[in-house]
Copies of this chain bind each other. A is one copy, B any other.
Amino acid sequence: MPSTLSVSEYLIECLQEMGVRHVFGVPGDYVLSFFKKLSESPLQVVNTCDEQGAGFAADAYARLNGLGVACVTYGVGGLKVANTTGGAFAEMVPVLVISGAPGRQERLNNPLLHHRSNQFDTQKKIFEQITVASAELNDPATAMAEIDRVLDAIMRFKRPGYLELPRDMVNTPVELQPRPAALAQRSAPEALAEALCEATEKIAAAECPVIMVGEEVHRFGLQDLVLRLAEKTRIPMAVSILGKSAVPETHPLYMGVYAGGLGDASVREYFENSDCQILLGVLMTDMNMGVYSAQLEQRKIISVSSEQIEIEHHFYDQVTAQDFLDGLANGILSKHIYPWVKPPLFSTELDQTPPDQKITVQRLFQHINAFLNCDMVVISDVGDALFGAIDLVTCRSAQFLSPAYYTSLGFAVPACIGAQINHPGLRPLVLVGDGAFQMTGLELSTVARYHLNPIVVVLNNGGYGTERPMIDGPFNDVLNWNYSRLPELLGAGKGFRVETEQELVEALEAARENTDSYSILDVRLAQNDISPALQRLTSSLGQRA
């Protein structure tokens, strides 16, 4: 069947159908003609300074949008997003990496073309390790099926995929193929019935069951089912760190973050004393489990994931999360009043302190909590920016983003680009340590270029603060930048240097008013000051030792 669509046009059409409106990347000669096609399409190209920035931006975009795309050149571009793709794999983020490549014709006689590291298929072999599907689009007869296969796998598993596009294939017509019907996952009816029966009995028999909501609930769009189940039964809900904001934090049944010793003590006590712990889409990562300070007992557990249902010590692998949650939410479970009582919401009334009081990590987070509103998305980088943020209260779904499992430093600034490009009405509040900022913070150039207006709070404690309590040395120091002077380099933005509480309050208010550009707050903290969450964890691990 003759086609008027080229490989690149078919790919762009698929992306549009899947709700993608932006592509993050850096051009290079092997991908230039595809960038040209993108710029002529309804998709908008967002140029980052470095490919690493594109990778993180696409990740954040994907978390909000359901699919994100990073587009780079061969070798020098592709290998730079190996880390961001590895992170998206770990945290189940549906990102497509499109890499340009030398044309098929150019590869004859195996020449040493620039950007080639080892063999021509080296980059694809690398991405096979960190994606759920990958393809080199080197054949017009299979290009369409290969694009479909990779995109289907990304959506099915919510993990990254990889497409390599030789530059002489960009304008090559695809041979149209009838598209096979997508295979929906189905439960085996008897297994489903058995699992539901067992779980229903277990929950009904419990005195104080509790739900823990994880990241998969957000990724797979199961929030409504989870809320229906909780509301029907009145079982209170905690969240994992990585799942934070997957259900609204203002919901009457919302408890807070459960993360062993890292989370709130009252949440922990209720959760660990519960006789039936219903884990919904929770990745059992070390961080989610409070660096394994969490004390869960397998005999109490019902765990639902995209791959299987687990009850106590046995598994059902023929039952989907969707069917199981649907069955529970619509089944015979009835409403109870369980012993948990929601405490009053975090008060925005702060204790008064002298205005020249030096700012501390604890007070910084209290002020930020008071400052947050429902038009903001909190994006936390790794370290105490993340630990401290556990105690923040955000108010609607997906208003908290962080790489809380893979924990790659430098995520937050580029991520705020992806988030706000996706959702211009959502203003990013970025929490980032100075060490992380020095990795990717200059992506504020991209922020300036695209007229975004995040508020960036640099937790400046002179180095890798969470490493110091483990093993310290000069290798944990970083140079002290004048972060508030960054606008002079970039020719955009407003900078604030903050040493006292009063200066913080004033800077936050000025940043709120500054809607035309980014604001950056250089918050000078004592080197060994840490957040309450990290204090709890240290104390909890200390008790265990």
Q: Which residues 376-435 of A sit at the B interface, judged by CB distance below 8 A?
A: 405-410
Q: Does A83 count as interface, using CB distance less than 8 angstroms?
A: yes
**Interface residues as binary, A82-106 with B (CB distance below 8 Å gives 1, 0 otherwise):** 1100110110000000000000000
Q: Does A125 count as interface, using CB distance less than 8 angstroms?
A: yes
Q: Does A36 count as interface, using CB distance less than 8 angstroms?
A: yes
Residues in chain B near residue A490, CB distance under 8 A: 479, 481-482
Residues in chain B near residue A125, CB distance under 8 A: 129
With A36-B473, A111-B284 as given contacts, are A406 and B76 in contact (CB-CB < 8 Å)?
yes
Q: Which residues 1-40 of A sit at the B interface, judged by CB distance below 8 A?
A: 25, 27-29, 32-33, 35-36, 38-39
Q: Is the CB of A405 within 8 A of B491?
A: no
**Cβ 8 A contact of A473, one of B39, B118, B283:** B39
Alpha-carbon distance A467/B29, docked complex (angstroms): 7
Alpha-carbon distance A438/B50, docked complex (angstroms): 7
Residue among A25, A408, A445 facing the most chain B CB atoms (10 A cut-off): A408
Residues in chain B near residue A114, CB distance under 8 A: 285-287, 405-407
Closest chain B residue to A23 by CB distance?
Answer: B475
Q: Is the CB of B47 within 8 A of A475?
A: yes
**Cβ 8 A contact of A489, one of B50, B448, B481:** B481
Q: Does A478 count as interface, using CB distance less than 8 angstroms?
A: yes
Q: Is the CB of B479 within 8 A of A286?
A: no
Q: Does A141 count as interface, using CB distance less than 8 angstroms?
A: no
With A82-B82, A117-B87 as given contacts, are A449 and B286 in contact (CB-CB < 8 Å)?
no
Q: Does A49 count as interface, using CB distance less than 8 angstroms?
A: yes
Alpha-carbon distance A442/B436, docked complex (angstroms): 13
Alpha-carbon distance A87/B122, docked complex (angstroms): 12
Q: Is the CB of A489 within 8 A of B491?
A: no
Residues in chain B near residue A118, CB distance under 8 A: 86, 89-90, 129-130
Closest chain B residue to A122 by CB distance?
Answer: B129
A407 to chain B, nearest CB (A): 5
Q: Is the CB of A470 within 8 A of B76?
A: no
Residues in chain B near residue A474, CB distance under 8 A: 39, 45, 47
Residues in chain B near residue A126, CB distance under 8 A: 82, 126, 129-130
Q: Does A337 count as interface, using CB distance less than 8 angstroms?
A: no
Q: Which residues 224-273 of A sit at the B interface, judged by CB distance below 8 A?
A: none
Alpha-carbon distance A410/B48, docked complex (angstroms): 14
Q: A residues within 8 Å of B by Cβ?
A: 25, 27-29, 32-33, 35-36, 38-39, 45, 47, 49-50, 52, 75-76, 79-80, 82-83, 86-87, 89-90, 111-118, 122, 125-126, 129-130, 283-287, 405-410, 438-442, 445-446, 448-449, 464, 467, 470-471, 473-483, 485-486, 488-491
A-B contact pairs, 18 of them (CB 8 A): A27-B464, A32-B467, A32-B470, A39-B475, A45-B475, A47-B474, A49-B438, A50-B438, A76-B407, A89-B117, A90-B116, A111-B286, A115-B406, A118-B129, A445-B479, A479-B491, A481-B491, A483-B489
